[in-house]
Structure 1
Amino acid sequence: MKKLILSLFLSILISASGFAQSSYYFPEESFDPSIPSPEEFLGYPIGDWHTRYDLIVKYFEKLDEVSPLAELKTIGYTHEHRPKIILTIASAAHMADLEAIRKTHLQLVDPSLPMPDVSNMPAIIHLGYGVHGNEPSSAEAAMLSAYWLLASQSELAQNLRENSVVHFDPTVNPDGRDRHSLWANSNKGFPPVADPLDREHNEAWPGGRTNHYWFDLNRDWLPLAHPESQVKIAWYHDWYPNVTTDFHEMGTNSTYFFEPTKPYGSENPVIPRKNYDDINVRFAAYFADYLNEIGSLYWTKEVFDNSYPGYGSTYPDIQGGLGLVFEQASSRGHLQSSQRGDISFAFTIKNHVRTSLATMEAGLDNREYMHDYLREFFETAVSEGAKDPAKNYVFGDEYDASKNQLFVKFLLDHKIEVFENTKDLSAAGYEFKAGKSWIVPTSQPQYRMVRTMFEDVKEFADSVFYDASAWTMARAYDMPFAPSSAIKSGDQITEAAVSTFEFPTEKAYAYLIDWADYYAPKMLFDLQEAGVHVEIINRPFTANTQAGETKFAAGTLMIPTGFQSLESEKLVSLVQELAKENSQQIFAAGTGMNVAGIDLGSNLVGAVKKPKVIMVVGEGISSYEAGEIWYLLDSQLGMPITKVNSDDMGRVNLFDYTSLILPSGNYNSLSDAFLTHLKDWISRGGTVISMKSASSWLNKKEIIKETLVEVSDEEKEAEPKNLPFAIQREHEGAKSVGGSIYMAKLDLTHPIAYGYQRDELPVYRNNSIFMKPSENKYLSPIRYTENPHLGGYISDANLEKLKQSASVIISPVGGGRVINFFDSPNFRGTWFGTNKLFLNALFFGDLMD
């Protein structure tokens, strides 16, 4: 009886939905009855609900269980410990020989190996779905597409199983997926509500687009800041797929987009023209045919950026494959009104199913062609690299061992060949020390990635960018580098070595820690968490240590052994343990009297107060920027940070905190009562760290009194009085600073610059707020150089404004201060070179005015 009731209930569900999966998604197809469809497994038609990620995983586990043609692997875990899975489908023969197929395929990417016979080599196809959690149709399409490939009795499906290996990643961003699914399902109406104003279609902040730390994972294929991307890229380099898909959604009033993207203006400069002019065109014909069959409207070539290497549709292009972006009009829920009528969730899924099948067919038909292209791509990379005037790039920071280790590991993760440098070299004004620097040859298979890491690009075919226009990763790490014709002299590196140091055995009057190392801030916070009293020395000095006479810069940390609550033996043991954990070199000073400079008990030495940090988040605040800050403090410092919605700030007593962080955003919702409290707290010694538009808001509220760079009379005069409507996007978009790199000048005596040894620093800017330097000549410690533009697009007018502005301004407010950042020191979790500016503001803010 219970089974009968359940059967009737399912029948009603299918009837109410208006379709059944077999007839709606795959009309006139027959399937192997031993393979359960998603509908049969889940108990509802696909499109009726947003399927939770754990159920997607369970369905793929079921396919693995019931068919020898499917194999499921967990390649890693997300921040919230959801499994990252790959389902592989191929014939029984191929599944039995999968590792041999993989190794033979990898011969194509190594021109030093003989070219394998590709005539019978299967196509390697990778279908990736759901990098944005609130673009949910693709993950549903992943289940349907995998089911079709495994169970369909069609000639095409059988041919695909016999002649290809297809890898499914059903959800690139599981954490964001579940955040959105919960929202959509819990706000669903019965019947569904199509009104775009309905709560179902308007997620609460921060929405499901991003991962746990509010990062856009479709930007992380290059930076590799997060575990989702790290394991995916490691898997990618195990396979080098011929084709990789990247499924998305866009505005509800749109139709469907597939590549080619906008010619020239949206293309990456290192990718061969053959990719854009030939391969994309070949595949586009399949997408058009499949969408023509169901009458779906579509478009190509107009917009969508394909230049930034960190996209899931661009990174494969720089690895000899074809990366494909698809954009589907979104129902943002289960049903939503559009200019063409109501769009159902099921309809959006169907479109992605169609292009998934089209991708597989195109990959199969072009199997040998794509294998040949993969080999050709890496052969031409080696030959082009050999012709590059820069035979090598040499890099290394003699002051920061941890940052060196991070950068070497980063290059190796992208399979770039790196060699030790065993000779002192001078190039581009830098001294590269043997043992503290490395060489990257240009003549190597990953030459195009080498260019991505080291090459500055300033000239573009377009002036409007969907995303970043600069991505030179050596700049992001503030890594000294230079092209060099020097012959590589050391062994090839296979892993990034972690620095180790001998702990001093001498009795110490005080322990000293150089602030130059990237992980020195983590060491400081770990010490403070453990109850160790730490002081900062605010002027340079030379001390006698176990290493002899040693020079130290301003910003050096001191642990005085005589001013501790911990017992002496416990203090020594703790410092030694934390130094090992954080790869920090500890110097022991036997006396407080220094060889040169101030002594250790000077009035210019003082206690470092342990930070207790609060950050405003919520509606109107940039979740990206807030996430970057949260991630930095979590992952690099292990520092807890209190995140409070702007609506709840009226309940906050700021005197419980040392620092308030204001990410970019709109703060007009904050009450007048809170503003009064804020002013009082700052004036009594509080520190605000304010980012970009937040500083503009503080300025408008007259909490700080800084001056914007005004539009010049020449610029006003040059602006046309009348222009064609059709060029509005291009003309106005060119005025934006969408993401580019500039050289800034540091005041190395200012606490914001503690830890930096060079007075020039690459900074990343992605906004058009230009603030003049402070009227106080001591409080603009970071300005731009005379010719600051390093890479990316900026208009001539904006470049002139930039030259008149400051990167960081300290605004005194009574006994406190606002530290204003107008660039992005924590951009995408990968600007290691400027992280320390932000951390200095946290630890040393009370010294900055």
Structure 2
Amino acid sequence: MMRQLLLFLLLLPIVSWASSDPLLPDDTYLNTVTQPEQAFGQPVGKRHLRYDQVLHYFRTLAEQSPRVAIESAGLSHQGRQQIAAVITSERNQQNLDNILAKRAKVTNGDAVGGPTVVWLAYSIHGDEASGLHAGTLFAYYLAASTSPEVERWLDEMVILITPSQNPDGNDRFANWVNSYTGHNLNGSDWHREHFQGWPSGRVNHFMADLNRDWLYLRHPESRGRVAVYQRWQPHVVGDFHEMGHNASYFFQPGVPSRTHPLTPTQNQSLTAALGRYHAEALDAIGQPYFSKESFDDFYYGKGSTYPDINGGVGILFEQASVRGHIRDTDFGKRTFREAIRNQLATSFSTVRGSYEQQQALVQYQRDFYVDSLERGEDSKGSGLVVGARGDQGRLAALAEVLSAHQVQFGWTEEALEASDIQFASDSLFIPFAQPKYALVEALFDHRTEFEDNTFYDVSAFAVDLAFNLEVADLRREPDWRPSSDSSVSFDYQPALAWVIPWEHRATPKALNTLLNAGVRVRFIETEARLQGRTGSVDVEPGALMIQGRQPNLEILLPQIAEMGVVPEAIVRGQALNGPDLGSRKFHSLNAVKPMILVGRNTSQYEVGQLWNYLDQQVGIAATLVDGEYAARVPMEDFTHLFMVDGRYRQLDAKLQARIERFVREGGVLVAWQGGAEALARKGMAPFDIKGRQDLQQQFDEPSPQFAERSADRAKRTIGGAIVNWQLDVSHPLAYGLGHQLPMMKDREMVLAPSEIGRVVATYDEQPLLSGFMAEAYQQTVGNEASAVVTPVGQGVVVALSDNPLFRNFWLGSERIVANALFMVPALH
């Protein structure tokens, strides 16, 4: 009898009567689950947690609690493991495969049944750390609480928790803050704790804002995150952020008129319904808040909007930031623990509201995909055909994006013509009749008129313009197959010479590989027709020519072919048309060694975009030179200096003189946006800048009504619109591009060149392609210069008014950077 009683007692749940952390409810908790304070040796929020500490704790929860499982979301750039903690009842955990199989049918519009899925995604900006800490506390609560409410939640729901969507940025920030925190906390705005180093913890390894990368997935963190989304198809996503320290607390819905027109009205109604739970939770703790102000719901590349075009409900939360441990604010002293408390409160309200609104959320998700499929089936055409003018690299990049978002697509069997455009076989075809039709609409949206012209982020993001693709509607569905038939076949045999087309996205990497291996490579500055092994070979300006009698080509050329760029064998030195192989129209290319001026007063985003492109796409180890010591750098050891957007206050007389000598002695200086403005302001290059004041001559006088000041300011801001460049394709800066080039414009500036400067690109007379740009700006920007190349001594200055690498998803204009690296130095 005693043995049976002992066995019975051992099988009972072991509980403690309260959590040690007062931020959590006064429930009973399982003693078998380690409390956060026990794991970290201090209350959560006492010091900023490193990601490895949080990851270890989540793994501990999964080991100790049958409610918790850990799912991989891939690795960050620096190799940190990203996770989604899957928290649900033990019964559901044992049935996860079946639950996921049902979730896979959601996009078909099927009534799949099973648990409602809520995803709480925290701290995509690494220095917005209250989310990471709140998510850690909430995960413990769900794993250990014996509350009947929690048991009901977990019986009927699956709750995903990602404590940090940017672990690299999180650790950069945590180490900074902890390094400048004493035992006596300092809330002064001027304390170094609150002034992060450069780059900040907001960004990832390559200094990207990951909350702008949900759509185009240029970083591994984003690809892993979207894979989790598509696998689980959550009904609700909570996206937890921070804002300025003198604010209060924000939750969506934001400004109703700033919602993307493709977002269903029912989505906003559900967001508002959930908002009532957030208001109740914040009222209960006396926390002021606001809603339906400031923030929009437009660009689908953010965590709170991506769900809105994928059948879910995304909700943005913004907590006033402490950016440390304590901060003096307009609301008095604000502590990090208070910030965690608020994020924890809306974590509870998100789950509580989603639980009580389950029926509406499930019905909405099904209706979304049913409606999307029906609208696709009712479309006038069969689908879109997409081409890239012979560059399968950009088409392959689009295919990767579509695959990640589970958009149905394939490849055409034969060449075809549509809208007066010739599309080669193996072009990409996207059928309209599919559940992801709504997302396809968003990806190819070109609208230029809006109910509200104020945007929190960009007003345009069309993929065909970003990737510089040709697109046409097809009435009849072509013959197509689900996989590409563009596999590379290359059989190396010695030849007199080899030609590689320059327009392929991978050719700059191929060129860099050859040059670093000591291969002599030249390029042609004009068109030609050469005799190939099996027929004539047409080459365009910029095409690479490699003499055949060089060592190791039998090894290197197959490696180049594996990049997707197939060398063409040339068997005669005399051209069929145009210059012969020995002509002076061919110019030698040299290996490059670029440096980038970085540090405070330069844009961390744009430095990161350039660094990422050079490192990841071209294979160049760029040297990042901080302005604090740049004047001491032996610049003669480098070929290029890049100055991206920024204020460049570090550009003192000594550094200025050093850069000017670098250019005069043969260096290439490439500058855009703020970098070009700095050169003009300092008189370092013979061109000028027309800025906002110069371009506003066509504007009417601002409204005298004080209440209209925001609307007036919005009209005078180019926050992100797609415009058309007209290119001089005979210039080496434009090799591999067409006469027209879509560009993202987010700065009120154009170039005013001197007589010695060569204008390579101008804005179209009617420049706007997509997004919002005030009519007055369209009139003043049209026909103005956007790219200028100016010789200075033995060197050259390349100036651009727009960023050719915008967020690393503006693939169409990457070629300008490659041309500035390789072509311009040889022929300017």
Shorter-chain-normalised TM-score: which range?
over 0.9
**What residue is the counterpart of 2:11 in the other structure?**
none
Q: Does the CA contact (< 8 Å) of 2:691 and 2:749 recur in 1?
A: no
Q: Output aligned runs, 1:110-129, within 5 Å.
A: 110-111=108-109, 114-116=110-112, 118=113, 121-129=114-122
**What residue is the counterpart of 1:177 in the other structure?**
170
Shift of 1:719: 3.6
Shift of 1:680: 2.0
What is the rounded CA distance, in whole Å, between the counterparts of 2:96 and 2:278 in structure 1? Answer: 29
- Which deviations, in whole Å up to 9, do the C-alpha atoms of 1:170-191 show, x marking residues without a partner? 1000000000000011111211
Q: Does the CA contact (< 8 Å) of 1:513 and 1:520 recur in 2?
A: yes
1:34 to 15, 32, 35: 32
Which stretch shows the higher mean deviation, 765-774 or 408-417?
765-774
1:826 to 805, 812, 815: 805
Mark the CA change 1:33 to 1:396 in structure 2 (over 3 Å): closer, same or farther: same
**What residue is the counterpart of 1:224 in the other structure?**
217
What is the rounded CA distance, in whole Å, between the counterparts of 1:249 and 1:709 in structure 2? Answer: 35
Q: Output aligned runs, 1:247-258, within 5 Å.
A: 247-258=240-251
Shift of 1:362: 1.1
1:752 to 733, 756, 759: 733
Q: Output aligned runs, 1:348-387, within 5 Å.
A: 348-387=339-378
Q: Does the CA contact (< 8 Å) of 2:121 and 2:237 recur in 1?
A: yes
What is the rounded CA distance, in whole Å, between the counterparts of 1:144 and 1:711 in structure 2? Answer: 48
Shift of 1:430: 1.4
Q: Output aligned runs, 1:542-691, within 5 Å.
A: 542-562=529-549, 564=550, 566=551, 570-576=552-558, 578-691=559-672
**What residue is the counterpart of 2:3 in the other structure?**
none
Mark the CA change 1:664 to 1:710 in structure 2 (over 3 Å): closer, same or farther: closer
Shift of 1:801: 2.1
Which stretch shows the higher mean deviation, 631-640 or 741-750?
741-750
**What residue is the counterpart of 1:3 in the other structure?**
none
Give the TM-score normalised by the residue count of structure 2. Answer: 0.95
**What residue is the counterpart of 1:476 in the other structure?**
466
**What residue is the counterpart of 2:90 in the other structure?**
92
Letter of the aligned partner of 2:440 in structure 1?
V
**What residue is the counterpart of 1:785 in the other structure?**
764
Asked if 1:814 is matched to 2:814, the reply is no
What is the rounded CA distance, in whole Å, between the counterparts of 2:761 and 2:787 in structure 1? Answer: 5
**What residue is the counterpart of 1:430 in the other structure?**
421
What is the rounded CA distance, in whole Å, between the counterparts of 1:575 and 1:421 in structure 2? Answer: 29
- Local SS of the residue matching 2:750: coil
Letter of the aligned partner of 1:544 in structure 2?
Q
Letter of the aligned partner of 1:358 in structure 2?
S
- Which deviations, in whole Å up to 9, do the C-alpha atoms of 1:25-67 show, x marking residues without a partner? 1243221222111111111001101011001001001101111
- Local SS of the residue matching 2:30: coil
Mark the CA change 1:594 to 1:504 in structure 2 (over 3 Å): closer, same or farther: farther
Letter of the aligned partner of 1:764 in structure 2?
M
**What residue is the counterpart of 2:266 in the other structure?**
274
- Which deviations, in whole Å up to 9, do the C-alpha atoms of 1:614-656 show, x marking residues without a partner? 1100000001111000000111011100001111111112211
What is the rounded CA distance, in whole Å, between the counterparts of 1:667 and 1:164 in structure 2? Answer: 52
Shift of 1:674: 2.1
What is the rounded CA distance, in whole Å, between the counterparts of 1:171 and 1:586 in structure 2? Answer: 45
Shift of 1:591: 2.6
Q: Does the CA contact (< 8 Å) of 1:613 and 1:659 recur in 2?
A: yes
Shift of 1:573: 2.3
- Which deviations, in whole Å up to 9, do the C-alpha atoms of 1:502-539 show, x marking residues without a partner? 2342x312111111111000000011111211111212
Give the TM-score normalised by the residue count of structure 1. Answer: 0.93
Shift of 1:427: 2.4
Shift of 1:712: 9.1
- Which deviations, in whole Å up to 9, do the C-alpha atoms of 1:763-807 show, x marking residues without a partner? 11111112235545x821222223221101111121122203122
1:454 to 421, 444, 469: 444
- Local SS of the residue matching 2:104: helix
Letter of the aligned partner of 2:536 in structure 1?
E
- Local SS of the residue matching 2:256: coil
Q: Does the CA contact (< 8 Å) of 2:376 and 2:433 recur in 1?
A: yes
Shift of 1:720: 2.5
- Local SS of the residue matching 2:628: helix
**What residue is the counterpart of 1:534 in the other structure?**
521
What is the rounded CA distance, in whole Å, between the counterparts of 1:22 and 1:352 in structure 2? Answer: 19
Letter of the aligned partner of 2:282 in structure 1?
L
Letter of the aligned partner of 2:324 in structure 1?
G
- Local SS of the residue matching 1:191: coil
Which stretch shows the higher mean deviation, 643-652 or 671-680?
671-680
Letter of the aligned partner of 2:515 in structure 1?
Q
Asked if 1:73 is matched to 2:66, the reply is no
- Local SS of the residue matching 1:24: coil
- Local SS of the residue matching 2:385: strand
**What residue is the counterpart of 1:738 in the other structure?**
719
What is the rounded CA distance, in whole Å, between the counterparts of 1:42 and 1:400 in structure 2? Answer: 52
**What residue is the counterpart of 2:51 in the other structure?**
53
- Local SS of the residue matching 1:523: helix
Q: Which runs of 5+ in 2 are unaligned?
A: 1-17
Q: Does the CA contact (< 8 Å) of 1:782 and 1:807 recur in 2?
A: yes
Q: Does the CA contact (< 8 Å) of 1:709 and 1:804 recur in 2?
A: no
Letter of the aligned partner of 1:223 in structure 2?
Y
Letter of the aligned partner of 2:231 in structure 1?
D
- Which deviations, in whole Å up to 9, do the C-alpha atoms of 1:682-717 show, x marking residues without a partner? 122211010112111111222222244478999558
Asked if 1:768 is matched to 2:748, the reply is yes
Q: CA RMSD in A?
A: 1.8
Q: Does the CA contact (< 8 Å) of 1:690 and 1:821 recur in 2?
A: yes
Asked if 1:840 is matched to 2:828, the reply is no
**What residue is the counterpart of 1:5 in the other structure?**
none
What is the rounded CA distance, in whole Å, between the counterparts of 1:27 and 1:690 in structure 2? Answer: 55
Shift of 1:466: 1.6
Q: Does the CA contact (< 8 Å) of 2:698 and 2:780 recur in 1?
A: no
What is the rounded CA distance, in whole Å, between the counterparts of 2:364 and 2:117 in structure 1? Answer: 13
**What residue is the counterpart of 2:197 in the other structure?**
204
Q: Output aligned runs, 1:127-206, within 5 Å.
A: 127-206=120-199
- Local SS of the residue matching 1:726: helix
Q: Does the CA contact (< 8 Å) of 1:622 and 1:665 recur in 2?
A: yes
- Local SS of the residue matching 2:454: coil
Shift of 1:281: 1.3
Letter of the aligned partner of 2:553 in structure 1?
L
What is the rounded CA distance, in whole Å, between the counterparts of 2:333 and 2:694 in structure 1? Answer: 50
Mark the CA change 1:470 to 1:701 in structure 2 (over 3 Å): closer, same or farther: same
Letter of the aligned partner of 1:580 in structure 2?
A
1:421 to 412, 419, 444: 412
**What residue is the counterpart of 2:5 in the other structure?**
none
Q: Output aligned runs, 1:684-703, within 5 Å.
A: 684-703=665-684
- Which deviations, in whole Å up to 9, do the C-alpha atoms of 1:547-594 show, x marking residues without a partner? 3111111111111134x4x3xxx3322222x22331211111123211
**What residue is the counterpart of 2:13 in the other structure?**
none
Shift of 1:249: 0.5
Shift of 1:264: 1.5
Q: Sequence identity of aligned pairs in percent?
A: 32
Letter of the aligned partner of 1:700 in structure 2?
R
Q: Which runs of 5+ in 1 are unaligned?
A: 1-19
Mark the CA change 1:775 to 1:526 in structure 2 (over 3 Å): closer, same or farther: same
Shift of 1:426: 2.2
- Which deviations, in whole Å up to 9, do the C-alpha atoms of 1:301-324 show, x marking residues without a partner? 011121111100100111111111
Q: Does the CA contact (< 8 Å) of 1:53 and 1:174 recur in 2?
A: yes
Q: Does the CA contact (< 8 Å) of 1:647 and 1:670 recur in 2?
A: no
What is the rounded CA distance, in whole Å, between the counterparts of 1:710 and 1:220 in structure 2? Answer: 29
Mark the CA change 1:400 to 1:362 in structure 2 (over 3 Å): closer, same or farther: same
**What residue is the counterpart of 1:14 in the other structure?**
none
- Local SS of the residue matching 1:349: helix
**What residue is the counterpart of 1:11 in the other structure?**
none
Q: Does the CA contact (< 8 Å) of 2:322 and 2:336 recur in 1?
A: yes
Asked if 1:410 is matched to 2:392, the reply is no
What is the rounded CA distance, in whole Å, between the counterparts of 1:389 and 1:359 in structure 2? Answer: 40
Mark the CA change 1:632 to 1:256 in structure 2 (over 3 Å): closer, same or farther: same
Q: Does the CA contact (< 8 Å) of 1:402 and 1:498 recur in 2?
A: no
Letter of the aligned partner of 2:501 in structure 1?
D
- Which deviations, in whole Å up to 9, do the C-alpha atoms of 1:108-155 show, x marking residues without a partner? 2213xx533x3xx21111110110000000000011111111111222
